[in-house]
Structure 1
Amino acid sequence: MASKMPRSAEFDEQFLTCAICMLHFRDPRILPCLHTFCKECLQHWATKQQPLECPTCRKPVSLPDQGVDGLKSNFYVSNLLDFAAVKKGAGPGVPCQVCEGKEGGARAWCVQCAVLLCESCTNTHRRFPAMKGHQIVTQENLEASEGVSSGFKRKAFCPKHEDQVLTFYCEPCQTLVCVACTVVDHPRGEKHNPVEIGGVAERKKRDLQELLEKVEPREKVVRAALSDVETEISELPTSADAAIKEATEYFDQLMALLQDRKEDVVKEIGSRRQEVGKCLEEQKEEIEFELAGLTSASEFCKQALEHGSDVHVIEVEGQARQRVEELLTTPADLAARPSHVVFSEGTAVAEFRDAVAKAGCVQASVGVDASKCSVEVKPAVVKCTNVSLLAIKDKNGQLCSVSKDDVTATLTDLSGQAVPTQLQEKGRGLWEISYTPEHTGNHRLDVRVKGQSVAGSPYDVRVQSSHTPVLTIGRKGSGEGELSAPVDVAVDKDGNIAVLEQWNQRVQISDGKTGQSLRCFSVVGDGGLWGIDVDSDGQFIVTSRNQLFSTDKQAIGVYSREGELTKTLIPDCLRNPRGVAVLKDGRMVVADHTQKSCLLLQPDGSLIREIGKGQLQDPWFIAVDESRDMFFVTDFWAHKVHVFDLEGNLNFSLGKVGKNEGELQHPSGITLDPAGNIIVVNWANSRLQVFRPDGTYLRTVAIVKGEGPWGITLTPDGHIAVACEWGHCVELYTYK
């Protein structure tokens, strides 16, 4: 049942104070959110704010038709105020509030009128018919009362019959009524059913008790959470100061390492300077010694020719010949010595800047909203490492950091067997969930953050065979999202897939995760398109033939990120361009079918050197490994992949003709993974294979489903995109 009212000594001034005027309540009224304010304060608040909101919790308030007057009175607060005032004012010597002490001191309290009465005024008060039902509490009862007794409560009178107490409740109307109302306005019948309020009140008390039992557990949890938050607030300065200290020490160590390295390099430059200087001095001395001998011999020969007699010439010619032959037989080494000390960057500034940007990670534990978190799940491939991306967000939908212990991910197969998963934070609020399923079929991925299931969890994960593409982009056609004879693919600066279409004469950009077409632009190439790559500025480099079967006017088109043709390169050295690979500095390596070689070109298209002449039969596509100054080219009719350095030397070739694993049969597209492994696809039997950097066979990724695989590329999220010319699509395969 409801708990008793508090003792007067326990009254909290804040409980009896209006949050608007900060005074004791005057005619307290209850809002739908159960917060109480003075009637007058609410009326004033409503004139200043539309729509009206609760001043405490900001919950929108819909007032009844009567406005603030229609809100229910808070009788509980009114009774507490009355009781507090009486207990405070009913002491000895307090005058009657009716006769103002003329008849004597206050001896009683009228609960209904809320006034102190002397004995004489009390007797008079009781004789008035209109006040017959008023509750009178004597001074003895007041002094004996420690709490607000059941009798110390104002009776509620009928608004229509002011002398009648509300003693009935009409349930169909849900209205309190008096005895008179049960006769006039609410007679018992089909529409009205007035019952005594005692039974109704008992039922309502039970309902309130049930509500209380529902609220109290949650209230305890919220209070505990509030206590935890207050504790965390108090501990926040300490943790932040500790983080600042750790960050300072961390970066001080990095700067110290850089300073030490700087001193070592400067010292080494000084040492090398001495070595080079000594070498040059020795060379200088040797050259000067030889020059002195040559000068002496030359002068001797000149003197003999100009001033010597025949006898003298005959006598000295042999000696002079011996000396000159001696000088010419043992000449000094005139080859250039290292004359400069050059500093070269072991790590490029741009790369170091990127690494520095990732140095140190700041994490702040905040309130995570599991309903706003999400997981990006892709079709998985059996016995391959697959990744799903978890985004952890707060209640505002912003990415937020949590500790690894707060995140759990469980993958189960069809039999309910758990598949091991790994979690790795990739950035603020972003986590990679990786797993290697052993069986095909539907799996379930359960993801929780701080013990709560992420929205949509558990997720369905479809595990398929390795020879099944995880995504197919396009179908035959010329419309948006359709492809016609795609011949090559590249990844743009945003991680999207750029597809070069032969028959549609365009480049179409598609989302590498969903396959959705984002945009496309036309390219020039009447005689055919072949290769595409993206330079360091995000521009698209496209090789094409401008006139069918022409041996001149071969072109390399440069297109902006938006697809505008910025320049056209027409090198005199180019005859029939095919695949192209662009280096970071803008240089290009282009395969030339007619010349059976590869051309290393400057950014402006001028020739640096021709590579592979006499060693290549039919070069198709190219991949470059700048870390080793090497490039790889597929030789279609030779069934090989040749590896050259950028100086033009053939390092090695790989490939044995055949249809089996580790064998090549008309290799076409080629790309490299970050470890330097060589990924190549056979045009003839569609086998997509991986070879180690030294050319030894590693494994088969898949047998490409689409017909006529041409150019390939590796996407940032670990998939191999294959342009299937005859299948009119691009297929993506998981790359382990």
Structure 2
Amino acid sequence: MEFYCESCETAMCLDCTEGEHREHVTVPLRDVVEQHKAALKTQLDAIHSRLPQLTAAIELVTEISRQLNERKNEAVADITSTFEELERALHQRKTALITDLENICSTKQKVLQAQLSSLLQGKEHIQSSCSFTEQALSHGSATEVLLVQKQMSERVTALARHDFPERPHQNAHLDCQVETEGLRRSIQNLGVLLTTAAVAHTSVATGEGLRHAATGQHHTVTVTTKDKDGELVRTGNAVLKAEIVSADGSRAAETEITDNKNGTYEVGYTLRSEGEYSFSLLLYGQPIRGSPFRLRAVKPSDVPQSPDDVKRRVKSPSGTGGHIRQKAVRRPSSMYSTTKKKENPIEDELIYRVGSRGREKGEFTNLQGISASSNGRVVVADSNNQCIQVFSNDGQFKMRFGVRGRSPGQLQRPTGVTVDMNGDIVVADYDNRWVSIFSSDGKFKNKIGAGRLMGPKGVAVDKNGHIITVDNKACCVFIFQSNGKLVTKFGGRGTSDRQFAGPHFVAVNNKNEIIVTDFHNHSVKVYSADGEFLFKFGSHGEGNGQFNAPTGVAVDANGNIIVADWGNSRIQVRQPLSAYLLHFISFTGCRFNPQPAC
């Protein structure tokens, strides 16, 4: 065999090259063998390079397996020790109860036995005296009777007058009452096994503070844990560590981690100095996807626009004043949709867009809140431009007001905005930590909530004129009178019906009920005007009726609840008196996520 047919991929002799393979391309066999050797060597080198990676992976998985068994053994030892201690405590309590029982019984018996002895002795004296006297009377002589009368009269009279203890000096009440039902319930719920399927290589971090930070300002990053298949983990208690170090390896800032108990975690930090930093996020000791992150800290005035700002912004076409009509895409029907024709169908056709990117009148850099007034005006809060802009209902610019600063009447980071019954404009200022009230023409009137609010985001006004403010950082809702007096507050960080995890915006319906978007709990919660929980809807997901971080919320004249589903890039509408979201508008292909609603 000296030749090789490339067409047939086979070795052959000289005779074959003149036979059936005469029209095929043939080459010397030794050249092909050398090529194959070289190719195999390249492949062998490539696969050999995988061995250290596989060895490291085997060591890591083996170590995790060892740690898992070690923790299991530690947990078994803890459980055994705890229950043995409880058994000892139960035995000690049993012994103490029996000892106390014996002592109480013994004390009562001593009293009763002393009384019984006295009674028996009295009875014996009476019986002996009666017997002696009766015998003398029956059989004695006159002389004996006289003697007995003298002797026994005093004794019998004394016995007749003697005060014997005839009424019991103690009682037989001695019961043991042991309330076991509550203890049984406690025992049934005693001990909780904490675990999670979260792994580092699929878990992700998001947030403006992941790569850019302003010195002296508090930033947060959200870590979302996922399992090996990339599915969201919906339970907390994962072991997450965060570290920010400078170029020389020294720790640059303290980090605080808040477990939202739903698979997400808030990592907060504040950097004091400008510079480049390494931001590491470790889940069970392993870096999450993308970690460590390059973090750059600059002065607040030099903060660049974040990708999220660009993502959330709706760009209008070049030029101004042009109206565009564009059909949104309706999602396919699901178990939550209905085939019944709606009496008041909701149009999902884009009517027009307002604004473009910039810092001039009618332009935005990060619009956060929006509100429609009864007199036909649309009010917009622009967070990065630190201003409030007002438009007509057809999108024509009317006015703008706001000056950056931290004094009353100035704006530092306006987020939520609404218009009260008097036409005054109410603005939630996130960084100034208060709510500012301006007249309809933009003149500052008052500020409320200073010293109470930590990070106000959404704001609304109810039928009583109360100003309802969502505190994003404190995870609660404040209700103020227009003069700033606190009426009530409710909420707190958590996952229960009366708790929130990063609530964003708020709306009030025609029943004066308070509707709050719970960002990290991926739901919308409804409360009475006094803050009593009524119901909630939504869960985490991409299906109809589910949310991925809801933000803006509004209620229309028909009572429909309109929700900006930020993470799913769509608007969802829930009809009143319905348990489901019935109408869905998806912004497929758009370069923004909907946030405000009015």
TM superposition score category, shorter chain reference: 0.3 to 0.5
TM-score normalised per structure 2: 0.39
Which structure: larger Rg? 1
